[in-house]
Chains A and B, each alone.
Chain A
Amino acid sequence: MKIIEKSQLMSAAEIDRTLQRLAHQVVEKSGGTRNLALIGIRRRGVPLAERIARAMRGIDGVEVPVGTLDITLYRDDLSKVAPQAVLQSSHIPFGVDAMDLVLVDDVLYTGRTIRAAMNGLFDLGRPKRVSLCVLIDRGHREMPIEAQYIGRTVQTSDTEIIEVRLTEIDNEERVVLVDRVDG
């Protein structure tokens, strides 16, 4: 299987601007940062959540807590993932009861990850509200799940993949559209 890069969707600067915009959107819609917390979904949701929290600090001067959630145990398709899917820890160092939680992920696709993430959140307690913030929405939903905060909406086909590359993980900073080709 080969990966062919088709086009660049976002540059480093565009990512940064979008995250700033999302941070503002969230703060505005939430009416402030009280009881607000961000939960980054492993892996790439985590640095995105941290950056959005940092941007929020700039807006309101307030520290919005950030938690990380590993959804492996909550997936419905575990048998289709490679054997011995490695577990990472979740780390949510605050109570979720009565909180206004924003799940953060890089790409929203079928919606299954978000469904699993909500299962994980509700095992921890009873949040007041859960909303979803994603950098890219690429359509093809299989669950009745939508994001409240979207960086960019992109039309894609099934064989295409959107790769969000972040400095913290990939040592580069851009969003690309790639194609999977058998060969």
Chain B
Amino acid sequence: MPGALLTWPREAPPPLTRKQVNYRFRDLLAMEPLSADEITFILDQSKPFQEIQRNPLKKLATLRGKTVALAFFENSTRTRLSFGTAASRLGADTMNLQAEASSLKKGETLLDTANNLNAMKPDCFVMRHSSSGAADFVARHLEIPVVNAGDGTHEHPSQGLLDALTIRDRKGTLNHLNVTILGDIAHSRVARSNLHLLGKFGCRFTLCGPAMWVPRELEHIGPPGTPIRCVYRVEEALEDADVIIVLRVQTERLYEPSLSQNDYILLYQLNAERMKLAKPDALILHPGPINRGTEITPDVADGPRSAVLEQVTNGVSVRMAILYLLMVGATEGTTHPALEGKTVS
């Protein structure tokens, strides 16, 4: 069947002498194609950056002279700041494209915009776009690594990774946890990345929300055989959860159907009363920004089980690890390094 005509994702150039490839791809477009080992590798590589963030001097010269293009075709303050900070702390410069100010308004196509930015010779292209598959599309046309900072309702890989790092730090492991995701999962790229990533570590999922936002097809996301159940009452979703990921309820309803905010609060809000049903050490995550009083109450969001601020800090570390991983590699004409294990000193 003429189905798989594309070989995607792109593989990185073969390593020079490494016996083992830690990460196969030139880009970071999604969690779905990564192996558990590759994910573990990225999380491990985030640790040195977590430490550096505790230093008085947080700036490295590792990526000095390199430029990271931040092409945010869809609005985002937090993710853009996080990637920008990550790039700066590694010593790289950034090029900033913001949605409102962009020439996209003048009808320039995505490809033209990407090519124009690329003509200014960045070393890495971080992009967020409202179309699913947009990062994949751009990556097919550029030679430099592309990082997907969120594409439509498809994936948000760096969010998945920072959630995983936060979970691993708090729980000690990612294996076989019970994970509940609460909210508009049908339209959530964060939820999909979480499903793909944590599913590779044997986690079990409970997806909970109003029926229109939790279609049964979600049971097929993630590695085949991942236990996923859809429930429509929040009380059923909390009992065994080790991790509760609360999604933002978009008050500006971009997707049909609109649901009354009152109804959502009444039936699905995560509040202290409902949290009594959860394990005492259940971890609460939220990709942000939080609508206090809608999907979660302030006391729960600020409580001891919530790791929301750690997520943000970890976000910079993970993004530093991602930029380091994709941008530090063999350049043209590289020589073979010294033998395995021996540093050139």
Do any beta carbons of A and B sit within 8 angstroms of each other in the complex?
A: yes
A53-61, A102-110, A149-157: which one contacts chain B? A102-110
A25 within 8 A of B: no
B116 within 8 A of A: no
B61 touches A74 (CB 8 A): yes
B18 within 8 A of A: yes
Interface residues of A in 63-116 (CB under 8 A from B): 70, 73-75, 77-91, 105, 107-114
* Cα of A114 to Cα of B344 in the assembled complex, Å: 11
Q: Which residue of A lies closest to B325 (CB)?
A: A84
A161 within 8 A of B: yes
- CB neighbours (8 Å) of A113 from chain B are 343-345
A79 touches B345 (CB 8 A): no
B56 within 8 A of A: yes
Per DSSP, are chain B's interface residues mostly helix, strand or loop, or mixed?
loop
A161 touches B328 (CB 8 A): no
Task: Contacts A82-B337, A89-B51 given; indicate if A124 touches B324 (C-beta within 8 A).
Answer: no
Closest Cβ of chain A to B263, distance in Å, is 48
* Cα of A105 to Cα of B45 in the assembled complex, Å: 23
Q: CB within 8 A of A110: which of B13, B60, B345?
A: B345
CB-defined interface of A143-172 with B at 8 Å, one 1/0 digit per residue? 000000000000000000101000000000
* Cα of A124 to Cα of B337 in the assembled complex, Å: 29
Q: Which residue of A lies closest to B56 (CB)?
A: A125
Q: Ordered nearest first, which 10 A-B pairs have the shortest CB separation?
A: A83-B329, A113-B345, A123-B57, A87-B48, A73-B62, A109-B345, A83-B330, A79-B331, A82-B18, A89-B48
- CB neighbours (8 Å) of B344 from chain A are 77, 80-81, 109-110, 112-113
- CB neighbours (8 Å) of A161 from chain B are 338-339, 342
* Cα of A163 to Cα of B339 in the assembled complex, Å: 10
Q: CB within 8 A of B16: which of A83, A86, A89, A125?
A: A83
Interface size on A, residues (CB 8 A): 38
B60 touches A83 (CB 8 A): no
* Cα of A168 to Cα of B37 in the assembled complex, Å: 26
* Cα of A43 to Cα of B56 in the assembled complex, Å: 25
- CB neighbours (8 Å) of A35 from chain B are none
B23 within 8 A of A: yes
Q: Which residue of B lies closest to A119 (CB)?
A: B61
B7 within 8 A of A: no
Task: Contacts A70-B48, A73-B48, A74-B61 given; indicate if A84 touches B328 (C-beta within 8 A).
Answer: yes
Closest Cβ of chain A to B103, distance in Å, is 33
- CB neighbours (8 Å) of A83 from chain B are 12-13, 15-16, 18, 328-330
B45 touches A86 (CB 8 A): yes
B45 touches A87 (CB 8 A): yes
Closest Cβ of chain B to A183, distance in Å, is 14
CB-defined interface of B302-335 with A at 8 Å, one 1/0 digit per residue? 0000000000000000000100110011110011
Closest Cβ of chain B to A92, distance in Å, is 9
A112 touches B345 (CB 8 A): yes
B334 touches A79 (CB 8 A): yes
Q: CB within 8 A of B60: which of A73, A77, A124, A180?
A: A73
* Cα of A91 to Cα of B54 in the assembled complex, Å: 12
B328 touches A74 (CB 8 A): no
A90 touches B334 (CB 8 A): no
A84 touches B18 (CB 8 A): yes
A43 touches B341 (CB 8 A): yes
* Cα of A125 to Cα of B343 in the assembled complex, Å: 26
- CB neighbours (8 Å) of B343 from chain A are 43, 113
Task: Add 4 more A-B contacts to A79-B331, A83-B329, A123-B60 (CB < 8 A).
Answer: A74-B61, A81-B337, A82-B16, A109-B345
- CB neighbours (8 Å) of B329 from chain A are 79, 83-84
7 inter-chain pairs at a CB distance below 8 angstroms, sorted by A residue, are A75-B62, A80-B335, A82-B18, A83-B12, A90-B51, A110-B345, A123-B60
- CB neighbours (8 Å) of A105 from chain B are 345
Closest Cβ of chain B to A112, distance in Å, is 7
Closest Cβ of chain A to B41, distance in Å, is 8
Closest Cβ of chain B to A64, distance in Å, is 22
* Cα of A110 to Cα of B342 in the assembled complex, Å: 14
